[in-house]
C-alpha cells in the first residue's frame, strides 16, 4: 500500500548555476528541514544529496554556461522531505547510463558517483530529463524526527 503524503510547508528558490551557490543550496535546505528536528546523520545525508544534485546541474546541465537552477523543498506528512532540483540545461540523453556508478561526462576530475550517492542517502530518487530541455531530480527521505506531537 502506497503512503499518502500531505504537504505541510514548502519553499522554492532559483539561483544561477555558479559553484558558490552549491553551498547556499545545502544550507537553505538544512535550515528549512530543521523544523522537523532531524538527527545530525539525517541532516548530513540530505545536505550531501542536495550538494550532488546541484553540482550535477552546474557541471553537466550547463557545462560551460550559466543558467538557472530551481530548487523546491517540501515538508510532507508523514515526516518526509522532498527536494526537486531542476535545470533547463542540455539534458541527459541516456538516464540509465548516467545512473551507472563511475559514468561521467564531466572529464577525468569527476567521479561519476553523483546519482549513486543521491540514491544511497535518500529513500527515493527520480530523474526526468530531455535532451536540450533540461533535467529534474526528485529526492525523498523519511526522517525519524524527534519532535514531540
d(Cα 25, Cα 145) in Å, to the nearest integer?
22
Residue 56 known to be catalytic: yes
Residue 26 known to be catalytic: no
Among the options 42, 52, 82, 140, which is catalytic?
52
Its sign, for the CA torsion 48, 87, 135, 143, is positive
Nearest to 28 by CA among 9, 44, 55, 47: 47
Residue 21 known to be catalytic: no
Among the options 21, 22, 42, 56, which is catalytic?
56
The catalytic residues are 52, 56, 110
Amino acid at each position: 500500500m502506497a503512503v499518502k503524503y500531505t504537504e505541510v510547508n514548502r519553499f522554492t528558490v532559483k539561483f544561477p548555476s555558479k559553484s558558490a551557490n552549491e553551498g547556499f543550496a545545502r544550507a537553505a535546505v538544512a535550515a528549512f528541514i530543521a523544523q522537523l528536528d532531524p538527527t545530525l546523520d539525517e541532516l548530513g545525508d540530505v545536505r550531501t544529496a542536495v550538494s550532488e544534485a546541484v553540482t550535477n546541474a552546474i557541471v553537466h546541465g550547463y557545462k560551460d554556461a550559466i543558467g538557472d537552477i530551481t530548487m523546491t523543498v517540501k515538508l510532507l506528512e508523514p515526516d518526509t522531505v522532498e527536494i526537486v532540483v531542476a535545470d533547463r540545461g542540455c539534458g541527459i540523453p541516456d538516464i540509465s547510463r548516467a545512473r551507472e556508478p563511475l559514468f561521467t561526462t564531466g572529464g577525468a576530475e569527476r567521479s561519476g558517483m553523483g546519482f549513486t550517492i543521491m540514491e544511497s542517502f535518500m529513500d527515493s530518487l527520480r530523474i526526468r530529463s530531455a535532451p536540450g530541455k533540461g533535467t529534474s531530480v526528485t529526492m525523498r527521505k523519511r526522517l525519524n524526527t524527534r519532535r514531540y506531537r
